[in-house]
Amino acid sequence: MRRPSVYIIGTGPGDPGLISVRGLRYLSSADVVLYDHLVHPRLLRYARQDAEKIDVGSAAPQPLDQEAISYLIVEKAREGKVVARLKWGDAFVFDRGGEEALFLHEQGVVFEVVPGIPAAIGTPGYAGVPITYPGGGDTVTFVRGHEDESVTAPPIDWRALANLGGTVVCYAGPRQLPDMLKALLAHGFAKDESAAVVYDGTLPSQHTLDGTLEELAGSKSLLPKPAILVVGRVAALRQHLRWFDERPLFGKRVVVTRSREQAGELVDLLESLGAETIGAPMIRIIPPDDYGPLDGAVADAGRYDWIVFTSANGADAFMRRLNAGDGDVRNLKGVKLVAIGPATAEHLAFHGLKVDLTPDESRAEAIVQALRDLGEVKGKKFLLPRADIAREVLADELRKAGAEVTEVTAYRTVLAEISSEGEPDIYRMLLDKRIDVVTFTSASTVKNFIQVFGAEQAPDLLRSTAVASIGPVTAGAAEQYGIKTSIMPKEYTVVSLVEAIVEHFKKG
């Protein structure tokens, strides 16, 4: 039995999180990915790094273009490659996915179709409009038109739709919407019929206009872009059921400078509250040039009185080497542990280690004072597994207090490349004042931001946006370059940082 070599995958109406688990699995294993303009670019991050990615343009191309796309899919499949064909919405709903599937069948290419959420179903739900509701009518009618570049409304029997009642959902092209509204009013729909127009459905940029058909037809607020039009009594429920655009960070653009490997929690929290996150990782976390010093410290860990972990990265790197060698957590019996901040303490807890001290502040002076209060500095042996570019302040302060300190590189931070093709132009967006918040989660992200954008330009770029620093060390690093921190949490964790951003915008 031959396995499919082509997967036609519906990706949903916009939000990349709405692709199915099955679709994501096929996407991540494909050799070639063909995608439409309306497919969210973030989905391409789930493709293999070595996969060939091909932009085939419009979601519903003209016949000649569509034929070329179909031949391209067959050509790639006959080369022995697994092809993921990404489609906006659902491939079989007002799309040419059916044509592509039929062409593959005629060419003897085995394929599989992975359904997606149609825009006509997903978009109204994100706008707070249930397309069916008790008392809202017994029919739902979908009207084609979104992909058509013509100015006029599609040639359908609008009067029959008016007589049918229920809910009508139209895929409205940017130049078709005014004529659609006029056609509805001219063919039997009541002037006071409830309606809603949704732009950029399911995305942080979603924008909804609602009112009566007459109000929308005469509105000067209609935008020259594709939309979903919902007509019927259900549209009146929006003011009671809207949720997506009521979230506290809805519509806010937030730049995340954390490394891609670590940005997941911050991105998820921000997006769950409505923000549009823009990835601009300033650092990459990589292993040390030479594991020898770290492995030596790990093997000899039992001789230290204290191990001070100044970051979650350091804790994870140390524990990976501990578990990779001949030892295990029993090597740390009798050794006391310091975690700089609750996030680092959580990472150690994940490895089965209980922290003996978490200072109230992340400053070197506060850490040394907390240890002094315990009588645990003079004559004690300290190990500091840390980044290659970590500040020397903590080690210096401990030595001044009479401690014996060993520093070892547990990981390195290097400048990340942020100007890859298809990624947002952060510089231009900052220049145009289209960014609401830039987040910094470590001093190294600040330093690399300066390296990328320039010591003179960076403070000017950030002058018109809010700067959120995770703690005083990060804020201090920003201050050195003339960058003022306007948002800083009381607890130096990702969760608290997001809460502080929410509070900032509540205050206006």
* 5: nearest Cα among 31, 42, 35, 43: 31
pLDDT digits 0-9 by tens, 289-299: 899 999 999 99
The token duo for 263 is 């940005």
- Cα–Cα dist 7/83, whole Å: 6
Kind plus residue range of the DSSP H or E element containing 477? helix 472-480
Residue with tokens 């303009």: 37
pLDDT digits 0-9 by tens, 140-177: 999 987 654 566 777 889 999 999 989 999 999 888 89
Residue with tokens 């330009």: 457
Give the model's confidence band at 421: pLDDT under 50 very low, under 70 low, under 90 confident, else very high: very low
Q: What is residue 197's predicted lDDT score, i.e. its pLDDT?
A: 97
* 257: nearest Cα among 411, 431, 416, 386: 416
For the chain, helix (H) and strand (E) counts, in that order, are 19, 19
Q: Where are the beta strands (DSSP E) in 120-219?
A: 140-143, 167-172, 194-199, 207-212
- Number of C-beta neighbours around residue 241 at 10 A: 13
Residue 449, phi then psi, degrees to nearest 5: -60, -45
Residue 312, phi then psi, degrees to nearest 5: -65, -35
Q: Cβ distance 53 to 33 under 8 Å?
A: yes
Q: What is residue 120's predicted lDDT score, i.e. its pLDDT?
A: 96
pLDDT digits 0-9 by tens, 319-340: 999 888 776 788 788 899 999 8
Q: CA–CA distance from 214 to each of 146, 174, 184, 396 (Å)?
A: 21, 19, 10, 73
Q: With 80 as the cut, is the pLDDT of residue 16 above it?
A: yes
Mean per-residue pLDDT, 249-257: 94
- Number of C-beta neighbours around residue 292 at 10 A: 10
Q: What is residue 426's predicted lDDT score, i.e. its pLDDT?
A: 86
pLDDT digits 0-9 by tens, 46-81: 999 899 999 998 766 676 688 999 999 999 999 999
Q: Where are the beta strands (DSSP E) in 374-495?
A: 381-387, 404-415, 437-440, 466-469
Highest mean pLDDT: which range of 192-201, 267-276, 386-395: 192-201
Q: With 90 as the cut, is the pLDDT of residue 377 above it?
A: no
Q: Where are the beta strands (DSSP E) in 80-178?
A: 83-87, 111-114, 140-143, 167-172
Domains defined for the chain, CATH in brackets: 6-116 (3.40.1010.10), 121-242 (3.30.950.10), 253-282+416-506 (3.40.50.10090), 286-415 (3.40.50.10090)
Q: What is residue 20's predicted lDDT score, i.e. its pLDDT?
A: 97
pLDDT digits 0-9 by tens, 446-495: 988 998 888 889 999 999 999 999 999 899 999 999 999 999 998 888 99
3-state secondary structure of 169: strand
CA angle (494, 500, 502) in 5-degree steps: 110
Mean pLDDT for the chain overall: 90
Q: With 70 as the cut, is the pLDDT of residue 390 above it?
A: no
Q: With 80 as the cut, is the pLDDT of residue 261 above it?
A: no
pTM of the model: 0.74
pLDDT digits 0-9 by tens, 481-508: 999 999 999 888 899 999 999 999 998 7
% the chain with pLDDT above 90:
62
